[in-house]
Amino acid sequence: MNEYVADKTRYEKMKYNRCGKSGLLLPALSLGLWHNFGDSSPFENQREMVRYAFDLGITHFDLANNYGPPPGSAEENFGRILKKDFRPYRDELIISTKAGYYMWEGPYGDWGSKKYLIASLDQSLKRMGLEYVDIFYHHRYDPNTPLEETMEALAQAVRQGKALYVGVSNYGPEETRKASRIIKQMGVKLLVNQPRYSMLERRIEDGLQQVLEEEGIGTVVYSPLAQGLLTSRYLDGIPEDSRAMKSIFLKKENITEELLSKIRKLNEIAKRRGQSMAQMALSWVLRNGKVTSAIIGASRKEQIADNVRALDNLNFTAEELQEIDDILNL
């Protein structure tokens, strides 16, 4: 692949949103490396997707210690891409990683202890060849570790210059409020929460969004396309090569004919809006300004291009929103 020079027009069309009450602007769409960036995926395709995303103004790349497979390989591969292509652009990138799920054997490689989080961040920095990440997340709430200890680990990462900002992921409303107030007393702000959110998964509307607004915390959501369900992929059933046939996160038995019928009806609304199903799903997540950024995944650069076009039409009529709710029986 040729030496990379970023597209000079990369900032002209992307929309950037302020992350809570902070100075940080994030692109409305971020690229997630949860899938398709492990050692089982072709490296040159990974490289092409990251370069293409940045050329479209996507500055935020979201990772975690356990992304792969195998765990850690997504960070290693992203580190290779940084070294080959992005050294001149490091100060234009927001790189985030997380720790909180199982990563290594023994009692110190999982959950939310200070021992685990600090060790994991050091490993992540080494894998990516970085001195710091822009955002370091605790990946899931740990009911058995005092929240003060977990927040102290995040605060220490900031104080040591290993992370510029910190956040939490998969924390509920009260857990988020407590975390925000504890870490604030340590002189550090909780920048962001990363929950799951899509037309099919709306739990964050039951209290979490209100807490985030009250605490001045940004919202970066994952799985806005519901693992690919909210795309054209499943309109005619379940393809043999689809994620539902091989993923542990999207189960074939959960894709019922009733659900597919609803998705087909949603697709009719998308057509009327001049959008693909995926574009409408992303527009819907970003519709009211409460979500700072939606994380997209991709297996090829064309999917990134299609998703970015969602930003061309973020407005919904009250009738469209009601029709969507009616289809989903909400």
- Is residue 143 included in any domain, yes or no? yes
Please report which confidence band the pLDDT of residue 2 belongs to, taking 50, 70 and 90 as the band edges: confident
The tens digit of pLDDT for each residue in 156-169 reads 999 999 999 999 99
Angle, nearest 10°, between helix axes 147-159 and 173-185? 50
Within a domain: 270 = no
Band of the pLDDT at 75, cuts 50, 70, 90?
A: very high
138 neighbors 101 (Cβ within 8 angstroms): no
Residue 104 lies in a domain: yes
Kindly list the distances between the CA atom of residue 233 and the CA atoms of 38, 52, 199, 225, 266, in Å, as whole numbers in the listed order: 23, 22, 16, 11, 13
Residue 112 lies in a domain: yes
In a domain, 267, yes or no: no
Q: Per-residue pLDDT tens for 257-295?
A: 899 999 999 999 999 999 999 999 999 999 999 999 999
Longest dimension (CA), the chain: 54
pLDDT over 70 (residue 242): no
CB 47 within 8 A of CB 1: yes
* CATH (domain of 43): 3.20.20.100
Please give the share of the chain, as a percent, with pLDDT higher than 90. 90
Q: Which 3 state secondary structure label does DSSP give 178?
A: helix
Give the position of tokens 């074939």.
252
Domain range for 298? 16-232+284-314
Q: Is residue 308 part of a domain?
A: yes
252 is a domain residue = no
- Residue range 89-101, pLDDT digits in tens: 999 999 999 999 9
Specify if 110 maps to a domain.
yes
Structurally, how many domains does the chain consist of? 1
Q: Categorize the per-residue pLDDT at 246 as very low, low, confident or very high, splitting at 50, 70 and 90.
A: low
Quote the pTM value: 0.95
